[in-house]
């Protein structure tokens, strides 16, 4: 997909934008008061990243893609208000100080929840789509909110643009406590409009046995995979321990690495 970057209409340019351009490798086109459809036409591109003070936004036609931690915020708030622990946290058994490797970062909601519960630890989020990694990395970096607990969790995440197999191969044995995979579902659960840009940009490949082997080498405590029980992925990957209720379509496959 051909994508360019520009500023908002007020031509707001700063050091962060320059760093984002260097990081993403996107071509910068001065806005010069032009509308996005005009720029799209003129430069024959499918997407335009617009730089705002709060972080980059990718426009693809009518759709927008940008970092927002809303789902993670709701999940953490539920714990803070009612003591309900998020199913991901129950399944992975993360503790304060743990190192969590998210091999499928996406919009980073699971990483943020893991960061909140691993206070004092470290969360690394690996994303193979270069444009998604750049938007989420810079969206996280510039994210501000009135709640320090949310900002701390978001800013605790290190974003890496890499295929997870390649990244895992570079890591030492037992260098993370938990290694996590949440691949794109074989059949999407929701036809949500909000997730439409993510579906276009994301890597839809299934988890490979080689990646799973690497994950088991790298994890000290657990490897976790989120999947739909009906997908057949747990059987294909030989995962026997599965948690989640029958009426919940999403389940976690767990490989215990301490045994």
Ligand X SMILES: C[S@@+](CC[C@H](N)C(=O)[O-])C[C@H]1O[C@@H](n2cnc3c(N)ncnc32)[C@H](O)[C@@H]1O
Least separation, in Å, of the C-beta of 195 and ligand X? 9
Q: How far apart are CA 178 and CA 101, in angstroms?
A: 6
Does 126 help bind ligand X (rule: CB under 6 A)? yes
Least separation, in Å, of the C-beta of 125 and ligand X? 8
Stretch that binds ligand X, among 38-46, 102-110, 143-151, 169-177 (CB under 6 A): 102-110
Q: Where are the beta strands (DSSP E) in the chain?
A: 3-7, 27-28, 47-52, 55-60, 63-65, 99-102, 122-127, 157-161, 176-181, 219-228, 241-243, 250-256
Among 86, 98, 110, 227, binds ligand X (CB under 6 A): 110
Stretch that binds ligand X, among 41-49, 93-101, 124-132, 249-257 (CB under 6 A): 124-132
Task: Write the interaction track for ligand X spanning residues 181-220; mark x where CB under 6 A is met and - where it is not.
Answer: -xxx-----------------xx-x---------------
Least separation, in Å, of the C-beta of 228 and ligand X? 11
Least separation, in Å, of the C-beta of 253 and ligand X? 15
55: three-class secondary structure by DSSP: strand
Q: What residues contact residue 254 under an 8 Å CB cut-off, 6+ apart?
A: 91, 92, 222, 223, 224, 239, 241, 242, 243
Among 4, 132, 157, 223, binds ligand X (CB under 6 A): 132
The footprint of ligand X on residues 166-185 (CB under 6 A) is: 182-184
The footprint of ligand X on residues 137-166 (CB under 6 A) is: 163-164
Residue nearest to ligand X (CB): 106
DSSP H helical ranges for 6-64: 15-24, 36-43
Least separation, in Å, of the C-beta of 127 and ligand X? 5
Strands 3-7 and 176-181, how do they pair? unpaired
CA distances to 101, 114, 183 from 51, in Å: 29, 28, 29
Q: What residues contact residue 55 under an 8 Å CB cut-off, 6+ apart?
A: 66, 67, 135, 138, 139, 141, 142, 143
Q: Which residues bind ligand X (CB under 6 A)?
A: 103-104, 106-110, 126-129, 132, 163-164, 182-184, 202-203, 205
């Amino acid at each position: 997909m051909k994508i360019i970057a520009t500023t908002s209409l007020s031509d707001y340019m700063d050091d962060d934008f320059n760093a984002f351009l260097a990081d993403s490798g996107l071509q910068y086109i001065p806005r010069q008061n032009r509308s996005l459809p005009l720029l799209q036409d003129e430069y024959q591109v499918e997407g335009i990243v617009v730089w705002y003070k709060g972080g980059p936004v990718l426009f693809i036609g009518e759709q927008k893609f940008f970092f927002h931690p809303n789902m993670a915020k709701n999940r953490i708030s539920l714990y803070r208000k009612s003591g309900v622990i998020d199913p991901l946290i129950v399944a992975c058994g993360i503790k304060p100080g743990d190192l969590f490797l998210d091999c499928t970062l996406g919009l980073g909601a699971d990483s943020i929840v893991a960061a909140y519960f691993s206070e004092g630890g470290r969360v690394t989020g690996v994303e193979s789509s270069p444009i998604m990694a750049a938007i989420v990395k810079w969206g996280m970096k510039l994210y501000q909110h009135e709640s320090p607990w949310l900002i701390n969790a978001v800013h605790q995440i290190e974003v890496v643009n890499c295929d997870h197999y390649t990244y895992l191969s570079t890591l030492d044995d037992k260098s993370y406590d938990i290694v996590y995979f949440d691949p794109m579902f074989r059949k999407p659960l929701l036809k949500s409009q909000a997730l439409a840009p993510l579906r276009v940009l994301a890597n839809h490949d299934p988890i490979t046995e080689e990646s799973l082997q690497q994950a088991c080498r790298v994890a000290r405590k657990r490897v976790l995979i989120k999947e739909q029980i009906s997908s057949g992925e747990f059987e294909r990957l030989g995962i026997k321990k599965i948690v989640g209720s029958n009426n919940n379509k999403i389940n976690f496959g767990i490989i215990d690495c301490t045994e």
